[in-house]
Chain A
Amino acid sequence: GENVGLHLPTLSVQEGDNSIINCAYSNSASDYFIWYKQESGKGPQFIIDIRSNMDKRQGQRVTVLLNKTVKHLSLQIAATQPGDSAVYFCAENWDSGGSQGNLIFGKGTKLSVKP
Protein backbone atom coordinates (compact mmCIF):
# COMPACT_ATOMS: atom_id res chain seq x y z
CA GLY A 1 0.00 0.00 0.00
CA GLU A 2 0.97 3.64 -0.06
CA ASN A 3 2.56 4.98 3.08
CA VAL A 4 3.66 8.18 4.65
CA GLY A 5 7.40 8.41 5.22
CA LEU A 6 9.89 10.85 6.66
CA HIS A 7 13.13 12.22 5.23
CA LEU A 8 15.00 12.59 8.52
CA PRO A 9 14.69 10.17 11.42
CA THR A 10 16.51 12.49 13.86
CA LEU A 11 16.95 16.24 14.10
CA SER A 12 19.06 18.15 16.59
CA VAL A 13 18.65 21.93 16.90
CA GLN A 14 19.83 24.68 19.18
CA GLU A 15 17.34 26.29 21.50
CA GLY A 16 15.90 29.37 19.86
CA ASP A 17 16.51 28.17 16.31
CA ASN A 18 13.74 27.23 13.93
CA SER A 19 13.09 23.53 13.26
CA ILE A 20 11.82 21.98 10.06
CA ILE A 21 10.55 18.42 10.04
CA ASN A 22 9.79 16.89 6.67
CA CYS A 23 7.41 14.22 5.50
CA ALA A 24 6.84 12.61 2.11
CA TYR A 25 3.59 10.99 1.18
CA SER A 26 2.78 8.83 -1.80
CA ASN A 27 -1.02 8.68 -1.86
CA SER A 28 -2.05 11.48 -4.19
CA ALA A 29 -5.69 10.94 -3.21
CA SER A 30 -5.05 11.84 0.45
CA ASP A 31 -6.99 14.96 1.34
CA TYR A 32 -6.04 15.55 4.94
CA PHE A 33 -2.76 15.62 6.83
CA ILE A 34 -1.98 15.97 10.48
CA TRP A 35 1.05 16.38 12.71
CA TYR A 36 1.34 14.82 16.14
CA LYS A 37 3.89 15.28 18.90
CA GLN A 38 4.75 12.37 21.16
CA GLU A 39 6.73 12.88 24.32
CA SER A 40 8.47 9.96 25.94
CA GLY A 41 6.01 7.63 27.66
CA LYS A 42 2.93 9.51 26.48
CA GLY A 43 0.33 9.26 23.78
CA PRO A 44 0.50 11.40 20.65
CA GLN A 45 -0.79 14.95 20.95
CA PHE A 46 -2.35 16.90 18.10
CA ILE A 47 -0.28 19.82 16.83
CA ILE A 48 -1.81 21.02 13.59
CA ASP A 49 -3.65 19.74 10.54
CA ILE A 50 -4.15 20.83 6.96
CA ARG A 51 -6.49 19.89 4.16
CA SER A 52 -5.36 19.34 0.61
CA ASN A 53 -7.13 22.49 -0.60
CA MET A 54 -4.61 24.56 1.38
CA ASP A 55 -0.84 24.90 1.04
CA LYS A 56 -0.10 26.57 4.36
CA ARG A 57 -1.59 26.72 7.81
CA GLN A 58 -0.26 28.45 10.88
CA GLY A 59 -0.71 27.79 14.55
CA GLN A 60 1.03 29.01 17.64
CA ARG A 61 4.76 28.84 16.77
CA VAL A 62 4.03 26.11 14.23
CA THR A 63 3.40 26.20 10.50
CA VAL A 64 2.52 23.31 8.23
CA LEU A 65 3.31 23.53 4.54
CA LEU A 66 1.84 21.23 1.94
CA ASN A 67 3.28 20.81 -1.53
CA LYS A 68 0.98 18.56 -3.49
CA THR A 69 3.11 18.75 -6.62
CA VAL A 70 5.94 16.83 -4.97
CA LYS A 71 3.80 15.20 -2.28
CA HIS A 72 5.67 16.80 0.56
CA LEU A 73 4.59 18.01 3.96
CA SER A 74 6.65 19.95 6.47
CA LEU A 75 6.26 21.16 10.02
CA GLN A 76 8.08 24.32 10.99
CA ILE A 77 8.56 25.16 14.65
CA ALA A 78 9.66 28.71 15.39
CA ALA A 79 12.03 29.54 18.24
CA THR A 80 12.39 25.90 19.27
CA GLN A 81 12.34 25.30 23.01
CA PRO A 82 13.54 22.37 25.15
CA GLY A 83 9.90 21.44 25.69
CA ASP A 84 9.61 20.79 21.96
CA SER A 85 11.90 17.77 22.28
CA ALA A 86 9.79 14.81 21.23
CA VAL A 87 9.04 12.51 18.33
CA TYR A 88 6.94 14.11 15.62
CA PHE A 89 4.67 12.07 13.39
CA CYS A 90 2.90 13.06 10.25
CA ALA A 91 -0.18 11.17 9.20
CA GLU A 92 -2.46 11.23 6.21
CA ASN A 93 -6.09 10.45 5.87
CA TRP A 94 -6.66 7.04 4.45
CA ASP A 95 -10.05 5.50 4.03
CA SER A 96 -10.67 2.20 2.32
CA GLY A 97 -13.44 3.47 0.11
CA GLY A 98 -15.60 5.02 2.80
CA SER A 99 -15.24 8.24 4.73
CA GLN A 100 -13.84 6.59 7.84
CA GLY A 101 -11.16 9.19 8.45
CA ASN A 102 -8.57 6.54 9.21
CA LEU A 103 -5.03 7.84 9.49
CA ILE A 104 -1.80 6.28 8.25
CA PHE A 105 1.19 7.31 10.34
CA GLY A 106 4.79 7.77 9.31
CA LYS A 107 7.65 6.41 11.41
CA GLY A 108 8.40 9.70 13.14
CA THR A 109 11.28 12.16 13.52
CA LYS A 110 12.96 12.62 16.85
CA LEU A 111 13.62 16.27 17.61
CA SER A 112 16.29 17.05 20.20
CA VAL A 113 16.70 20.62 21.39
CA LYS A 114 20.08 21.58 22.81
CA PRO A 115 19.99 24.28 25.49
Chain B
Amino acid sequence: NAGVTQTPKFRILKIGQSMTLQCTQDMNHNYMYWYRQDPGMGLKLIYYSVGAGITDKGEVPNGYNVSRSTTEDFPLRLELAAPSQTSVYFCASRSSGQGYEQYFGPGTRLTVT
Protein backbone atom coordinates (compact mmCIF):
# COMPACT_ATOMS: atom_id res chain seq x y z
CA ASN B 1 0.00 0.00 0.00
CA ALA B 2 1.16 3.52 -0.74
CA GLY B 3 -0.74 4.76 2.32
CA VAL B 4 -1.68 8.44 2.23
CA THR B 5 -0.30 10.43 -0.69
CA GLN B 6 -0.45 14.18 -1.18
CA THR B 7 0.26 16.40 -4.15
CA PRO B 8 1.89 18.77 -4.74
CA LYS B 9 4.82 18.69 -2.31
CA PHE B 10 5.46 22.41 -2.63
CA ARG B 11 3.52 25.32 -4.05
CA ILE B 12 3.84 29.07 -4.14
CA LEU B 13 0.66 31.06 -4.68
CA LYS B 14 0.04 34.73 -5.17
CA ILE B 15 -2.55 36.44 -3.00
CA GLY B 16 -6.01 35.86 -4.41
CA GLN B 17 -5.14 32.74 -6.40
CA SER B 18 -6.88 29.43 -5.85
CA MET B 19 -5.65 25.89 -5.74
CA THR B 20 -6.60 22.37 -4.75
CA LEU B 21 -4.45 20.19 -2.54
CA GLN B 22 -4.89 16.55 -3.42
CA CYS B 23 -5.05 13.68 -0.94
CA THR B 24 -5.54 10.01 -1.70
CA GLN B 25 -5.43 6.94 0.52
CA ASP B 26 -5.48 3.31 -0.55
CA MET B 27 -6.29 1.74 2.82
CA ASN B 28 -10.06 1.90 2.41
CA HIS B 29 -10.31 4.17 5.44
CA ASN B 30 -13.61 5.86 6.09
CA TYR B 31 -12.22 8.77 8.07
CA MET B 32 -10.07 11.45 6.47
CA TYR B 33 -8.68 14.69 7.83
CA TRP B 34 -6.97 17.88 6.77
CA TYR B 35 -4.64 19.68 9.15
CA ARG B 36 -2.42 22.69 8.90
CA GLN B 37 0.82 23.08 10.79
CA ASP B 38 2.36 26.49 11.28
CA PRO B 39 6.07 26.78 12.15
CA GLY B 40 6.88 25.46 15.61
CA MET B 41 3.28 24.59 16.27
CA GLY B 42 1.08 21.56 16.51
CA LEU B 43 -1.53 20.43 14.04
CA LYS B 44 -4.86 22.20 13.71
CA LEU B 45 -7.83 20.46 12.17
CA ILE B 46 -9.32 22.20 9.14
CA TYR B 47 -11.95 19.74 7.91
CA TYR B 48 -12.72 16.08 8.31
CA SER B 49 -14.86 13.44 6.71
CA VAL B 50 -16.40 10.30 8.17
CA GLY B 51 -17.17 8.79 4.79
CA ALA B 52 -17.90 9.52 1.17
CA GLY B 53 -20.37 12.39 0.84
CA ILE B 54 -19.97 13.54 4.46
CA THR B 55 -17.72 16.37 5.57
CA ASP B 56 -17.58 18.61 8.61
CA LYS B 57 -15.66 21.62 9.87
CA GLY B 58 -12.77 21.36 12.24
CA GLU B 59 -11.12 24.05 14.33
CA VAL B 60 -9.92 26.36 11.51
CA PRO B 61 -12.16 25.93 8.41
CA ASN B 62 -12.35 29.53 7.22
CA GLY B 63 -10.90 30.04 3.75
CA TYR B 64 -11.06 26.36 2.84
CA ASN B 65 -13.49 23.93 1.30
CA VAL B 66 -13.49 20.17 0.93
CA SER B 67 -15.38 17.45 -0.88
CA ARG B 68 -15.48 13.69 -0.53
CA SER B 69 -16.97 12.05 -3.58
CA THR B 70 -15.06 8.79 -3.13
CA THR B 71 -13.63 6.86 -0.19
CA GLU B 72 -10.10 7.32 -1.55
CA ASP B 73 -9.94 11.05 -2.26
CA PHE B 74 -10.33 14.10 -0.04
CA PRO B 75 -9.21 17.27 -1.84
CA LEU B 76 -8.80 20.57 0.00
CA ARG B 77 -9.67 23.73 -1.92
CA LEU B 78 -8.23 27.14 -1.16
CA GLU B 79 -10.16 30.02 -2.67
CA LEU B 80 -8.65 33.52 -2.70
CA ALA B 81 -5.37 32.56 -1.03
CA ALA B 82 -4.12 34.84 1.75
CA PRO B 83 -0.67 35.09 3.41
CA SER B 84 -2.23 33.68 6.60
CA GLN B 85 -2.68 30.40 4.73
CA THR B 86 1.06 29.95 4.38
CA SER B 87 1.59 26.66 6.19
CA VAL B 88 2.29 22.96 5.81
CA TYR B 89 -0.83 20.96 5.11
CA PHE B 90 -1.21 17.35 6.15
CA CYS B 91 -3.85 14.88 5.15
CA ALA B 92 -4.57 11.88 7.35
CA SER B 93 -6.88 8.91 7.40
CA ARG B 94 -7.98 6.22 9.81
CA SER B 95 -10.12 3.14 9.85
CA SER B 96 -13.45 2.76 11.58
CA GLY B 97 -12.01 0.32 14.09
CA GLN B 98 -11.62 0.82 17.80
CA GLY B 99 -8.36 2.75 17.69
CA TYR B 100 -8.10 6.39 16.69
CA GLU B 101 -4.67 6.13 15.11
CA GLN B 102 -4.43 8.41 12.11
CA TYR B 103 -2.03 7.80 9.23
CA PHE B 104 -0.48 10.91 7.77
CA GLY B 105 0.68 11.89 4.33
CA PRO B 106 4.03 13.62 3.70
CA GLY B 107 2.52 17.10 3.59
CA THR B 108 2.24 20.00 1.16
CA ARG B 109 4.25 23.12 1.89
CA LEU B 110 2.31 26.16 0.71
CA THR B 111 3.57 29.73 0.57
CA VAL B 112 1.26 32.62 -0.26
CA THR B 113 2.98 35.85 -1.22
Contacts and interface: CB of A to CB of B under 8 A. Distances in A.
Query: Which of B44, B92, B100 is packed against the most chain A CB atoms within 10 Å?
Result: B100
Q: Is the interface of B mostly helix, strand, loop or mixed?
A: strand
A43 B90 contact: yes
Contact of B43 (A41, A46, A93, A105): A105
Interface stretch (B64-72, B76-84, B101-109): B101-109
B100 A32 contact: yes
Interface residues of B, number: 26
Contact of A49 (B45, B50, B99): B99
Nearest to A45: B104
Nearest to A32: B100
Interface size band for A: 20 to 34
B53 interface: no
Given A104-B45, A105-B35, 11 more contacts: A32-B99, A43-B90, A43-B104, A49-B99, A49-B100, A100-B50, A102-B33, A102-B45, A103-B100, A107-B40, A107-B42
Interface of B: 4, 31, 33, 35, 40-45, 48, 50, 56, 58, 90, 92, 94, 99-107
